[in-house]
Structure 1
Amino acid sequence: MIRLTMQGIWETIRSTLGDDTLGHPLFFITAVMATVVTAGLAFSIADVALGRMTFTSAAKYLAITLPGYLAVFALIRWVPIGSGEVPERAPSVTTFLLGLAGCLVAGDFLSYWWHRLEHGSAAVFRNVHYVHHSVESPLTVWSGFFVHPIESGVVFSMFYVVPFVLDVHPMIFATYAAINTFVTMVTHCGYKLWGYPTWLFADTARHEPHHEMKNPPNFCVLLTLSDRLFGTYLPADAATSSSSNLATTS
């Protein structure tokens, strides 16, 4: 039954987006784009309503973000760059979950070590990462996008190089891209979200202090796994006590 449901979802995706889009090497950016627009709009509405951001600022961020993603979508949709073979069958539930977990762990590991390099190398921090850390607290959902072009390209590569090279099933790749995008936005959104699985994913309570401390912990922006494994994890309670710039939905 679950297998049939997975197949039904996959067939709906294929009929909606088309094989030309799904077979494009950069098709997963459509999932990134949809998540950025949806989550960005939702958090911006909350920010304006709570007085954390002006309507003008929210509109400016959307106006800056949307054209770029729409241009990429147009590129994927209408510019022939070469199309790969689109699988007829959906992945099994086991394959889907294992593939998704593998993508999350790989993205977390690679982006973590790039982030460590940005702070460990004075030259890289001074010439690249300083742009992101020039964002003042409190953070908003758009803070994560305020980065140097080099950092933007490298982080994007760290997140997606493994599923791209391994040619994972498009259904897995798109789901991972959406989750990755949403989590990295939540990590910078400035809210403690009720019910959010902070035992698994990075969040604002642990990452906002990263932007405020001289020797910051919590380098992960996706999972908390690499911080825990490599000794840079600071629990939420300890991290939150160092920051007073968090809003809450609870």
Structure 2
Amino acid sequence: MENRGDPAAPVLQELWEWVRAGQEEVLRSPHLAACCAFLTHVLLCAPFFALDALGRVCERVRMWRIAAGSGPPPSLRRWSECFCRVLFRYLTAVLPAATLLQLLRSPELPEWAPSCWQLFVEVVACFLLFDMLFFLWHYLLHRIPWLYRNVHQMHHQHHVPFALAAQDASSAELLSLLLLALSSAWALDCHPLSETLFHLLNSWLAVEDHCGYNLPWALHRLLPFLGGAPHHQAHHSQQSSNYAPYFTHWDHLCGTYHS
């Protein structure tokens, strides 16, 4: 993954040069990663907040909810309480840790953009590596009682999750997932554009996994190797299966898959 330049990718190169020319100081900010992660998470949750609001008055929206017996969509109060918890943990744990990691890393921005193929390969490789690391860590969180009580149990207060709850976890768990995501991109020596795209898609898939809806246009309906929201909601209700975050192959291989 050393070949950063590709004259055959003019769109990406022009985009990268525009970013470097006008925003290089912003990109080097040690606070950027954590701030963008929080804002991205909130913005990606906004459509599901609207669905939950509509679900209180629209039968069609309620039909899209995964479990008919899961009760009404979460209330505004529940969303607000969750938002405050997530914001508090970002300010007190994620922001300081991400700032320190960025200061220690201090990467040089490359001159060349990746080719479209390189971008695709790096993002897919990041997801495969992250999915494996998450599966192993998640399995341990459930199998080791001390880890479950002190790290993971807070996330499982949501037996029927909703979009914002994707980040409603203990500070220790949020930091561990931050390290897994960053390590996946750094271990593969990804281009900053590939790393950024990976983090954006990672945020979206996490939100979609917790949304509580089996929507007609959901990614798991288009890509059968993804588990999606039904797969992850089964994990929240049973807690003994479906440990992988996105793909299903590790759960199939290890006998922990439940449809």
TM-score, normalised with respect to structure 2: 0.76
| % identity of equivalent residues | 24
Quote the Cα distance in structure 2 between the aligned partners of 1:23 and 1:49.
41
Give 2:247's aligned residue: 223
Asked if residue 49 in structure 1 is aligned to residue 71 in structure 2, the reply is no
Asked if the contact 1:111/1:158 (under 8 Å) is kept, the reply is yes
Instruction: Return 5+ residue gaps in structure 2 as ranges.
Output: 1-6, 57-72
Give CA deviations for 1:152-175 in whole Å, capped at 9, x if unaligned.
211221222121344421100000
Letter in 2 for 1:188: H
Asked if residue 149 in structure 1 is aligned to residue 154 in structure 2, the reply is no
Quote the Cα distance in structure 1 between the aligned partners of 2:257 and 2:51.
29
Give CA deviations for 1:17-73 in whole Å, capped at 9, x if unaligned.
x11233456754455334212112221121122131323433444455457768949
Please identify which structure carries the higher helix content: 2
Give 1:121's aligned residue: 144
Q: Which of 225, 238, 241 is the aligned partner of 1:213?
A: 238
Asked if residue 33 in structure 1 is aligned to residue 54 in structure 2, the reply is no
Give CA deviations for 1:60-93 in whole Å, capped at 9, x if unaligned.
44455457768949x96xx977742111211011
Q: Report how many residues are paired.
A: 229
Quote the Cα distance in structure 2 between the aligned partners of 1:218 and 1:144.
16
Asked if the contact 1:24/1:81 (under 8 Å) is kept, the reply is no
Asked if the contact 2:234/2:258 (under 8 Å) is kept, the reply is no
TM-score, normalised with respect to structure 1: 0.78
Using a 3 Å threshold, how does the CA distance of structure 1 residues 217 and 84 change in structure 2: closer, same or farther? same
Using a 3 Å threshold, how does the CA distance of structure 1 residues 200 and 122 change in structure 2: closer, same or farther? same
Asked if the contact 2:211/2:229 (under 8 Å) is kept, the reply is yes
Letter in 2 for 1:225: H
Give 2:206's aligned residue: 184
Asked if the contact 1:31/1:174 (under 8 Å) is kept, the reply is no
Asked if residue 201 in structure 1 is aligned to residue 223 in structure 2, the reply is no
- Deviation of 1:227 after TM superposition, in Å, equals 2.0
Quote the Cα distance in structure 1 between the aligned partners of 2:175 and 2:255.
27
Q: Which of 171, 196, 199 is the aligned partner of 2:193?
A: 171
Asked if the contact 1:22/1:170 (under 8 Å) is kept, the reply is no
Higher mean Cα deviation, 148-157 or 219-228? 219-228
Instruction: Return 5+ residue gaps in structure 1 as ranges.
Output: 236-250
